[in-house]
């Protein structure tokens, strides 16, 4: 029979290879065939360490998110802390574009997985320090988390289309033109906003959204 592997396979190694495949080839690039090839093994070996593909995807997601949230920083004001965590997730999602759909899928599977609490905690602990009534902590954190993941996911998709600066302005021109060309009756707003999209800075625009929600949170005790 064939020789066994010289060094033992590990779960961490499998997860690391999975992240590599996802990064280079996207979600559809993660297959057990590709995995066995890179790891020079058979499917049975992987199934010894990992229950199934879903668990592997969850583990890859968890590893990348933990990494993104682990960055140590000098402590700042609660607002600055929220901004820093948001940017950390923004960058992680830009670097690993498969993360966005994966995270929203995991959020949409209830709080069973370990990723949902981790993300809510990373933002919520600073919302708590914002000095708003406890009754609005959860709502405020939800608004921030969903905006951050959604906007970062959309940005990552755009970022993937373009790499060079020339590509980028061409791409934005195309988007702007597409919006400006929509039906005037049905899409008045999109047409009016088309010009804006042409020359905006992604991170700046993203942070403006975070600030908008933070402002709403600050004013929440005086809600109508």
Partner DNA sequence: ACCTGAACACCGTTCAAGT
Q: By the criterion CB under 7 A, which residues form the site for DNA?
A: 1-2, 4-5, 8-9, 30-34, 40-45, 47-49, 52-54
Residue 145, helix vs strand vs coil: helix
84 exposed, middle or buried (CB, 10 Å; 0-12, 13-18, 19+)?
Answer: middle
Choose from a copy of itself, DNA, none: what does 48 bind? Cβ within 5-8 Å by kind.
DNA
Place of tokens 């499917």: 43
Applying CB under 8 A, the span of 6-14, 43-51, 70-78, 104-112 interacting with a copy of itself comes to 104-112
Q: Decide whether 34 or 159 has the Cβ nearer to a copy of itself.
A: 159
The CB-of-54 to a copy of itself minimum distance in angstroms stands at: 11
Query: Under rule CB under 8 A, which residues in 110-129 are in contact with a copy of itself?
Result: 110-111, 117, 120-121, 124-125, 127-128
The CB-of-18 to DNA minimum distance in angstroms stands at: 10
- H helices within the chain, ranges in order? 11-25, 32-39, 43-49, 53-70, 78-95, 99-107, 115-128, 137-161, 165-180, 188-198, 202-218
Choose from a copy of itself, DNA, none: what does 168 bind? Cβ within 5-8 Å by kind.
none
The answer to the question of residue 107 lying near a copy of itself (CB under 8 A) is: yes
Among 20, 41, 142, 198, binds a copy of itself (CB under 8 A): 142
DSSP letter at 185 equals T
Taking the mean position of all CA atoms in its chain, how far away is CA 223? Answer: 30
Q: Decide whether 16 or 111 has the Cβ nearer to a copy of itself.
A: 111
The CB-of-95 to a copy of itself minimum distance in angstroms stands at: 15
The answer to the question of residue 64 lying near a copy of itself (CB under 8 A) is: no
For every residue of 74-133, DSSP letters joined together read ----HHHHHHHHHHHHHHHHHH-TTHHHHHHHHHTTGGGSSHHHHHHHHHHHHHHTTT--
The answer to the question of residue 36 lying near a copy of itself (CB under 8 A) is: no
Choose from DNA, a copy of itself, none: what does 69 bind? Cβ within 5-8 Å by kind.
none
Contact 123, 82 (CB under 8 A): yes
């Amino acid at each position: 029979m064939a020789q066994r592997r010289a060094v033992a396979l590990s779960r961490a190694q499998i997860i690391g290879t999975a992240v590599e495949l996802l990064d280079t080839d996207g979600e559809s690039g993660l297959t057990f065939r590709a995995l066995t090839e890179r790891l020079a093994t058979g499917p049975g070996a992987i199934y010894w360490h990992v229950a199934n593909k879903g668990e592997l995807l969850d583990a890859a997601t968890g590893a990348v998110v933990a990494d993104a949230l682990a960055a140590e920083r000098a402590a700042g004001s609660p607002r600055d802390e929220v901004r820093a965590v948001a940017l950390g997730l923004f960058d992680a999602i830009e670097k690993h574009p498969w993360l966005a759909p994966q995270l929203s899928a995991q959020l949409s599977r209830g709080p069973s997985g370990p990723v949902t609490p981790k993300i809510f905690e990373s933002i919520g602990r600073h919302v708590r320090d914002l000095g708003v009534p406890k009754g609005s902590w959860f709502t405020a954190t939800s608004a921030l988390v969903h905006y951050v993941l959604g906007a970062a996911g959309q940005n990552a998709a755009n970022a993937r289309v373009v790499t060079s600066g020339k590509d980028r302005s061409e791409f934005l021109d195309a988007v702007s033109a597409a919006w400006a060309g929509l039906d005037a009756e049905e899409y008045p707003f999109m047409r009016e906003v088309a010009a804006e999209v042409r020359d905006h800075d992604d991170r700046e625009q993203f942070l403006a959204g975070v600030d908008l929600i933070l402002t709403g949170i600050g004013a929440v005790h005086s809600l109508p």
